[in-house]
Chains A and B, each alone.
Chain A
């Protein structure tokens, strides 16, 4: 479904601020799979997500999505295939428009929008049913401006909007990171339900090891712009938070092994 082949990206190349967030990343997500990308700050996980969404052109490598080579597609063109939920609950919705109006926009994502009544009775009925599934009592507040809702409620609605067209790929960019623990748990529950119901192919970025251990059917651990570890199938099922912590510790130790340690080991190991 999604294939990422050896992609590279360097920002501010040739300047003092040069960063190389992607250094040859490859991924393969079959249809209906749920991949969790885990990594520390600056590991390149969000950049990878943005590369897939088409936020910037790549230096090298290819991205194939749902049978199309989307490498040179602009972000808005890819939006037909991709649903996204961002970390910031204020991104992804129009705050001054009502819940219903936001939905009316989302439901026509990627299509031409003419000058007709957006909020038809059919749409409102369907919307009410969908919002009811969130079990947050929002179905009675469809006329309220989205800006008046809490962060958790907004993320839940954004998630519904991102998935209402059953996208070929759902991108979740640390979408619970800005929420309080209780709201985050609620959003995770909603996320699982939605993904399961629509059998969505999903790519979720997180730095929460708890989420990584409990969600998804595969994990990619990023470090310094490349994939450090991959876990799939039985390996993923067995994985506990402690195992993930141990892997991070390993990466850190690896980083700290510099040439002076190498010299010390050469001298004293045997």
Chain B
């Protein structure tokens, strides 16, 4: 079978020639997956020269029709040969067929949306669109707990606070789920929370992130050792895409674009994005007096640090989708806020971001709702890992920044 691919501005066309049987269906599926991954959500499958289709082939058509429908994309069979047409009609899948034999007119995902404005972000060719959500919204920041005792191995349960995460609270830090008994103390690890979804990777050696979702009257609650919270709504939604020229966009560029979008020098950001790579650290063990032993005071001393922290010194979670929660601020503003560290080597932009990675699934285009985008990730996928994102700017050997392909950022200016 021959599979040829042509990409238009709004529509991608895949032309097949040959038999769409069990053997070739897999290859067609791969071509479709690649197309979706490259950001094309409107796909036309030209089956003019396909003389046979088996149920294995039909399965792929149904699968992609469903997947693209779920992200408001579009999947159609065009120019179907007589045989294909007959099979699809008999199978009750006439809806897949585009009846006209001419090329499909561009009917991309962008339906009648509320007005948005296009913005350019630092890199040429990278596009972004800003939607107004609630222009008056802002996030009030708060810092529960204290990091120093924890990171010096002097953990102090009295400074922990139980924090609820209803829809309008976002946050990150070091936390633990549990009923509140003493065993929770061993479980404190990186967490992030937004739009009623809270996920935490317990530092108990299991490396399995656990999560709690807002469901009915159940509000996620987590014991926080230290962290940063933002309470309130989101002012704007920024949709970004790496464009054709660049392989991916670094976190700092996206964070800067968010600051610009909310016209502030400090912002709270929740991002759902297709990931090129994540770079960051994860706590491996909850520091405590017993475990730091004879060397209390600093978990960052080499080589002891290897017991406490794991760092992705090379590409991790490539081609995944991630939910990222964080705060960004200009250098001047960051000095008035807590827990913000330089995002770039120059120190001009500061921030603190945690990300939870999931297996890849495409993201709907246009103006999307945060909860409707974030919660399904937990419901249909498993969490691969939670990372505290860091910029590895070491010369020559550094892994660089976390990088993204395209995504959505909900952001608001910060107030104290």
Complex contact A253–B300 (CB within 8 A): no
The range of chain A's interface size is 10 to 19
Complex contact B300–A254 (CB within 8 A): no
Complex contact A270–B151 (CB within 8 A): yes
Proximity bits, B307-345, A CB within 8 Å = 1, else 0: 001111110000000000000000000000001011000
Near B by CB (< 8 A), chain A positions 223-270 give: 246, 250, 253-254, 256-262, 264-270
Complex contact B342–A268 (CB within 8 A): yes
Give the one of B298, B302, B342, B394 with max A CB within 10 A: B302
- What's the Cα separation between A268 and B300 when bound, in Å? 11
Complex contact A264–B207 (CB within 8 A): no
Asked if B281 is at the interface of the complex by the 8 Å CB criterion, the answer is yes
Closest Cβ of chain A: how far from B66's Cβ, in Å? 27
Closest Cβ of chain A: how far from B81's Cβ, in Å? 41
Asked if B306 is at the interface of the complex by the 8 Å CB criterion, the answer is yes
Task: Tell me which residues across on chain A come within 8 A of B198, comparing CB atoms.
Answer: none
With A250-B207, A260-B397 already in contact, the answer to whether A265 and B300 are too (CB < 8 A) is yes
- What's the Cα separation between A259 and B339 when bound, in Å? 23
Which of chain A's residues has its CB closest to B352's CB? A270
Closest Cβ of chain B: how far from A257's Cβ, in Å? 5
Task: Tell me which residues across on chain B come within 8 A of A268, comparing CB atoms.
Answer: 341-342, 390-391
Total A-B pairs, Cβ < 8 A: 60
Task: Tell me which residues across on chain B come within 8 A of A254, comparing CB atoms.
Answer: 306, 310
Proximity bits, A197-241, B CB within 8 Å = 1, else 0: 000000000000000000000000000000000000000000000
Complex contact B342–A265 (CB within 8 A): no
With A254-B306, A262-B300 already in contact, the answer to whether A269 and B207 are too (CB < 8 A) is no
Q: Which of A260, A266, A267, A270 contacts B147 (CB 8 A)?
A: A270
Q: Which of A258, A267, A270 contacts B302 (CB 8 A)?
A: A258
Task: Tell me which residues across on chain B come within 8 A of A256, comparing CB atoms.
Answer: 311, 313-314
With A264-B390, A265-B300 already in contact, the answer to whether A257 and B207 are too (CB < 8 A) is no
Closest Cβ of chain B: how far from A256's Cβ, in Å? 4
Complex contact B310–A261 (CB within 8 A): no
Task: Tell me which residues across on chain B come within 8 A of A259, comparing CB atoms.
Answer: 302-303
Complex contact A262–B310 (CB within 8 A): no
Asked if B101 is at the interface of the complex by the 8 Å CB criterion, the answer is no
Chain B residues touching A, majority SS:
loop
- What's the Cα separation between A250 and B205 when bound, in Å? 10
Which of chain B's residues has its CB closest to A255's CB? B306
With A265-B390, A268-B391, A270-B151 already in contact, the answer to whether A257 and B306 are too (CB < 8 A) is yes
Complex contact A269–B388 (CB within 8 A): yes
- What's the Cα separation between A269 and B342 when bound, in Å? 10
With A246-B207, A268-B342, A270-B147 already in contact, the answer to whether A262 and B302 are too (CB < 8 A) is yes
Asked if B114 is at the interface of the complex by the 8 Å CB criterion, the answer is no
- What's the Cα separation between A253 and B284 when bound, in Å? 12
Which of chain A's residues has its CB closest to B394's CB? A260
Near A by CB (< 8 A), chain B positions 334-382 give: 339, 341-342
Closest Cβ of chain A: how far from B105's Cβ, in Å? 45
Task: Tell me which residues across on chain B come within 8 A of A246, comparing CB atoms.
Answer: 207
Asked if B23 is at the interface of the complex by the 8 Å CB criterion, the answer is no
With A246-B207, A250-B207 already in contact, the answer to whether A264 and B394 are too (CB < 8 A) is yes
Asked if B274 is at the interface of the complex by the 8 Å CB criterion, the answer is no
Which of chain B's residues has its CB closest to A269's CB? B281
Task: Tell me which residues across on chain A come within 8 A of B298, comparing CB atoms.
Answer: 266
Complex contact B313–A261 (CB within 8 A): yes
Asked if B301 is at the interface of the complex by the 8 Å CB criterion, the answer is yes
Task: Tell me which residues across on chain A come within 8 A of B390, comparing CB atoms.
Answer: 264-265, 268-269
Give the one of B305, B309, B397 with max A CB within 10 A: B305
Asked if B241 is at the interface of the complex by the 8 Å CB criterion, the answer is no
- What's the Cα separation between A254 and B310 when bound, in Å? 6
Closest Cβ of chain A: how far from B292's Cβ, in Å? 15
Complex contact B341–A257 (CB within 8 A): no
- What's the Cα separation between A253 and B315 when bound, in Å? 11
- What's the Cα separation between A267 and B341 when bound, in Å? 8
Complex contact B302–A253 (CB within 8 A): no
Asked if B392 is at the interface of the complex by the 8 Å CB criterion, the answer is yes
Q: List 12 A-B contacts (CB under 8 A).
A: A253-B312, A254-B306, A257-B311, A258-B302, A261-B311, A262-B300, A262-B302, A267-B341, A268-B390, A269-B151, A269-B390, A270-B151
In the complex, given contacts A264-B393, A268-B390, what are 8 additional A-B residue pairs having Cβ atoms less than 8 angstroms apart? A257-B313, A261-B392, A262-B302, A265-B300, A265-B309, A265-B311, A266-B298, A267-B341
Interface residues of B (CB under 8 A from A): 147, 151, 207, 281, 298, 300-303, 305-306, 309-314, 339, 341-342, 388, 390-394, 397
Interface residues of A (CB under 8 A from B): 246, 250, 253-254, 256-262, 264-270
